[in-house]
Structure 1
């Protein structure tokens, strides 16, 4: 009887361990579905992330296809194929009605990578084609641990292949390249405007001090010489004569001009910053949601169409 109890307890313990392992293996990988790159291994630069983001959003806005890059140091007891499927399923890459997402999984801790796609691309983006892309565009850089170059070349090759599949001109991707490479420019810089105005006033003051008549000689007529001539000398006179201090109008703080805080230039403004003006909400950065198409967003695709890894 005691022997039977011990066997039963041992079997129950084994089942519990197996169940716990199953739950761990089936747990969804951690990721942000609203980004085209989830770099949990920390091997990709911001420029590479923006590059992948721009290409993927361009495809998303034209044919619904999406390319996602996921990196992690280790995958535990999972296989590369199983882990890639879990990521693809959790991410929802590709349009839901087309299931045309593509996932590049990079696992530097295990010196391995894997490329898979949704079932909607199974007949067009073949295993043979994906293996060729990995061998030619990723493997040489992977050996040198140049993950940025390998990722950019691989994603570009995949994007070109998707353009061919859906009949999209390859030049469409060039626009995404320029967007990723071009530095972002602020639409309005108030400090630059202030500096320009100060420089203009200084120039007017200097010119007025040299051209204004001096000594007992005759002064230019104030009313004669035409409207332009009188206005010219009037402006020079204003630039050269000292001005009496003016009291600021009511409703303005002692800071630098209207709209700025009471503590001077750049100080806090009562009631918070004015929406859309200087000191307002930050402008969305490129590559992460600041595009006309609405940025990267999960499409709802999930079903696996097979893939290929490094050791194929």
Structure 2
């Protein structure tokens, strides 16, 4: 989290949007980095490049994710993009690694990537996260919490339901 806040601070000092090339051996795409702290210096776990969410929806999700991170140290980031090249799973994993979701020593990050126009969604987990939230569990969350809502164009509800299920399964209490 400290690394992400530091990146956000540097970006806000520059007062500009930065284009960051994202590449893998199989996948190439370009993302704009919009990791910018809010006026109250809180960090946003939401990067909504596709403008899927309203400001209130982003604030609600961000608050939920911030409270979860404070309680558990587990980090969840949500990205929406208009397009990608290659498969959504590789893009999600690469993006999660590039922005450093999760604590490095715990590898406890998770990234939800939604590419709305392409009707693609993926959940990428760190190695520490994968011990609890397996690929099978993540697929079930996508199939049961997200896809039914996405079919009705209820993207916020689908993501919010998925986040609730992830938090429920990933909480240590």
| Interval of TM-score (by shorter of Structure 1 and Structure 2) | 0.7 to 0.9
Q: Does the CA-based 8 Å contact 2:123-2:138 persist in structure 1?
A: yes
Q: Of residues 67, 76, 84 in structure 2, which corresponds to 1:58?
A: 67
SS of aligned partner of 1:49: helix
Q: 1:71 maps to what in 2? A: 80
Contact 1:69/1:103, CA 8 A, preserved across alignment? yes
TM-fit CA distance, 1:144: 0.8
Alpha-carbon spacing, 1:54–1:22, altered in 2? closer, same or farther (3 Å): closer
Name which of 126, 129, 144 aligns with 1:121: 129
Deviation at 1:40, TM superposition (A): 0.5
- Which residue in the other structure is 1:160 paired with? 168
Matches within 5 A, 1:138-157: 138-157=146-165
SS at match of 1:30: strand
Q: Which has the higher contact order (CA 8 A, sep 6+)?
A: 1
Shift of 1:32: 3.3
| Distance in 2 between residues matched to 1:161 and 1:141, nearest whole Å | 20
Equivalent in the alignment of 1:30 = 32
CA RMSD, aligned part only?
2.2
CA displacement at 1:74 relative to structure 2:
0.8
Of residues 108, 123, 147, the one that matches 1:100 is 108
Q: Residues 27 and 161 of structure 1: is their aligned pair in 2 closer, same or farther, counting only changes over 3 Å?
A: same
Q: Match for 1:136 among 131, 140, 144?
A: 144
Provide structure 2 residue ranges, at least 5 long, that are not aligned to the other structure.
1-22, 36-42
Moved over 2 A (4+): 25-34
Contact map agreement 1:28 1:87 (CA 8 A) in 2? no
How many angstroms does 1:111 deviate by? Answer: 1.0
Is the contact between residue 149 and residue 158 of structure 2 (CA under 8 Å) also seen in structure 1?
Answer: yes
TM (norm. structure 1) is 0.43
Q: SS where residue 155 of structure 1 aligns?
A: helix
Unmatched tracts of structure 1, length 5 or more: 1-20, 168-312
Q: Please say if residues 76 and 110 of structure 2, whose CA atoms lie closer than 8 Å, have aligned partners that are also in contact.
A: yes
Per the alignment, residue 177 of structure 1 pairs with none
3-state secondary structure, aligned to 1:89 = helix
- Deviation string, structure 1 residues 97-156 (Cα, Å, up to 9, x no partner): 111111111011111111111111112111121122112111111101111111111111
CA distance in 1, matches of 2:164, 2:24: 37
> How far did 1:47 drift?
2.1
For the 8 Å contact 1:66–1:93, the answer to whether it is kept is yes
Aligned partners of 2:52 and 2:155 also within 8 Å = yes
